[in-house]
């Protein structure tokens, strides 16, 4: 019997050997996704290619569109990170010679012969981020890169995979030399508790999230008062104080499960100080989602001047989340049996509807198994994100794929967290077709 991770590790080694051979006399074009997992994947790859003295260029994308693939240079080695598992048919149509993919999203198309792919979906569907795969790949092509393991951890947390740590992920954690502490999974765990609770969106705490007065009342109620004008941080709480805080949050959010709120807090060395990995991951995501992928990359590279700028952008991002949640609570929704469609149009940024959908799917607002779809306009397109409450129920990736086949657009993602883009003139057709498919799927379940 094969050990866990053995087949995938063999695949990583094989593709790494091919990559070294094919990149001897070719420039490498790295194309990565713009979320935390994609940005950290790109950062790991950039640092490794620099060590190998390879010639390369990098492109960070919000979404991978058909035309972009057809316009790719034919004389370069193409390397996709955290992208393109849903675009294999487009790659097959094109005349690209050397294509490499490191990704973890669902594959529903046949892998073309000109594609060298590393994807756990082809190997027992192991849970690992693209940044984790990129780190293991880069370790094969350049062994002395342990200092990059912490970036893979930030990507893992960005894709919320830290609760399902298998052997492969554990090996990366060991390389990263991370400190782990058991506690409440809100962040940042290293900052004053009143600020942490005010901007806490996962879990969303009714009457507390986005409410300074509500935060003060909660902390006073459990006798966690400031000393010298400053509140303790989460990691400074003793066991009894932590239990009081957990109880208070659960009373305000009764559908939240105790086991979902408690877990490992990951602390790692960044900018020469101990930082909460969840905060860093969210900060990278905020920079990218608000349009500054360059700053997100600088943050990963630990460029000193980047930190203050990133903190300011993250603060703005958190305010956008709070206002987005306020809009969602007040707006009219399209509701059906087991699904909710929230069409924000121009009221929420397109780069944030996925975050809003994730927060709602982790809140107590909807029953387990409910499918949440959020929509937002940008340019002449619509960004759509779908999530399942409790990560069970319908396969949203499959449903969006069926709808997109009829409406036309781009789709990608996972079983319980997926997204797509369509043209704005297809809005009503998309909603009608989506409702029909969600109702059909419910009958199946």
Assign 5 a pLDDT band (cuts: 50, 70, 90).
very low
**Residues 376, 349: Cα–Cα separation, whole Å:** 7
Q: What are phi and psi of 334, to 5 degrees?
A: -95, 110
Q: What is the pLDDT of residue 412?
A: 84
Q: Which pLDDT value is given to residue 256?
A: 66
Give tens-digit pLDDT for 149-164: 999 999 999 888 877 6
Alpha carbon distance 125, 119 (integer Å): 8
Are 234 and 189 spatial neighbours (Cβ–Cβ below 8 Å)? yes
The proportion of the chain whose per-residue pLDDT surpasses 70, expressed as a percent, equals 96
Phi, psi values for residue 276, rounded to 5°: -75, 120
Where residue 3 falls among pLDDT bands split at 50, 70, 90?
very low
3-state SS, the chain, equals: CCCCCHHHHHHHHHHHHHHHHHCCCCCEEEEEECCHHHHHHHHHHHHHHHHCCCCEEEEEECCCCHHHHHCCCCCCEEEEECCCCCCHHHHHHCCCCCEEEECCCCCCCCCCCCEEEECHHHCCCCCCCHHHHHHHHHHHHCCCCHHHHHHHHHHHHHCCCCCCCCHHHHHHHHHHCCEEEEEECCCCCCCEHHHHHHCCECCECCCCCCCHHHHHHHHHHCCCCCECCECCEHHHCCHHHHHHHHHHHHHHCCCCCHHHHEEEEEEEEECCEEEEHHHHHHHHHHHHHCCCHHHHHHHHCCCCCHHHHHHHHHHHHHHHHHHHHHHHHHCCCEEECCEEEEECCCCCCHHHHHHHHHHHHCCCCCCCCCEEEEEEEECCEEEEEEEEHHHCCCCHHHHHHHHHHHHCCEEEECCCEEEEEEEHHHHHHHHHHHHHHHHHHHHHC
Q: What is the pLDDT of residues 389-444, one digit of tens each?
A: 877 788 999 999 999 988 988 888 888 899 999 999 999 999 999 999 988 755 45
pTM as predicted: 0.86
Q: What is the mean pLDDT of residues 280-289?
A: 95
**Residue 4: band (very low, low, confident or very high) from pLDDT cuts 50, 70, 90:** very low
Q: What is the mean pLDDT of residues 267-282?
A: 92
pLDDT value for 445:
46
Domains in the chain, start-ordered, CATH in brackets? Answer: 6-152 (3.90.1640.30), 181-325 (no CATH), 334-444 (3.10.310.40)
pLDDT at 391: 73
N-terminal to C-terminal alpha carbon distance within the chain: 34
């Amino acid at each position: 019997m094969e050990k866990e991770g053995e087949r995938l590790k063999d695949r990583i080694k094989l593709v790494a050997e091919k990559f070294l051979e094919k990149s001897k006399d070719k420039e490498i074009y790295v194309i990565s996704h713009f979320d935390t997992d994609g940005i950290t994947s790109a950062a790991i790859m950039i640092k490794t290619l620099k060590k190998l003295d390879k010639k390369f260029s990098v492109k960070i994308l919000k979404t991978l569109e058909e035309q972009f693939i057809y316009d790719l240079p034919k004389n370069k080695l193409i390397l996709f990170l955290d992208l393109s598992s849903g675009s294999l048919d487009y790659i097959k149509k094109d005349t690209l010679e050397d294509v490499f993919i490191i990704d973890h999203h669902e594959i529903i198309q046949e892998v073309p012969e000109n594609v060298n792919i590393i994807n756990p979906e082809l190997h027992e569907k192991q849970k690992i981020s693209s940044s984790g795969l990129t780190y293991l790949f880069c370790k094969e092509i350049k062994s002395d890169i342990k200092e990059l393991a912490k970036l893979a951890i930030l990507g893992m947390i960005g894709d919320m995979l830290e609760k399902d740590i298998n052997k492969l992920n554990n090996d990366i954690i060991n390389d990263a030399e991370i400190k782990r502490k058991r506690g409440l999974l809100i962040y940042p765990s290293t900052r004053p508790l009143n600020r942490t609770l005010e901007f806490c969106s996962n879990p969303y705490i009714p009457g507390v999230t986005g409410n300074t007065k509500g935060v003060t009342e909660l902390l006073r109620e459990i006798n966690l008062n400031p000393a010298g004008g400053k509140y303790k941080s989460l990691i400074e709480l003793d066991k009894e104080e932590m239990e009081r805080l957990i109880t208070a949050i659960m009373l305000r959010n009764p559908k939240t499960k105790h086991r979902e709120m408690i877990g490992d807090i990951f602390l790692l060395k960044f900018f020469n100080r101990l930082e909460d990995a969840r905060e860093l991951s969210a900060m990278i995501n905020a920079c990218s989602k608000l349009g500054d992928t360059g700053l997100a990359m600088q943050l990963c590279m630990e460029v000193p001047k980047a930190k203050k700028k990133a903190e300011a952008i993250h603060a703005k991002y958190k305010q956008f989340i709070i206002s987005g949640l306020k809009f969602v609570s007040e707006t009219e929704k399209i509701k059906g049996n087991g699904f909710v469609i929230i069409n924000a149009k121009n009221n929420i940024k397109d780069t944030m509807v996925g975050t809003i959908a994730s927060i709602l799917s982790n809140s107590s607002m909807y029953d387990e198994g409910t499918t949440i779809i959020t929509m937002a306009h940008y340019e002449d397109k619509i960004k759509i994100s779908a999530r399942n409450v409790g990560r069970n129920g319908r396969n949203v990736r499959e449903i969006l794929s069926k709808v997109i086949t009829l409406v036309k657009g781009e789709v990608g993602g996972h079983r319980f967290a997926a997204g797509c883009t369509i043209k704005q003139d297809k809005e009503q057709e998309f909603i009608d077709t989506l409702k029909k498919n969600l109702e059909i799927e419910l009958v199946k379940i």
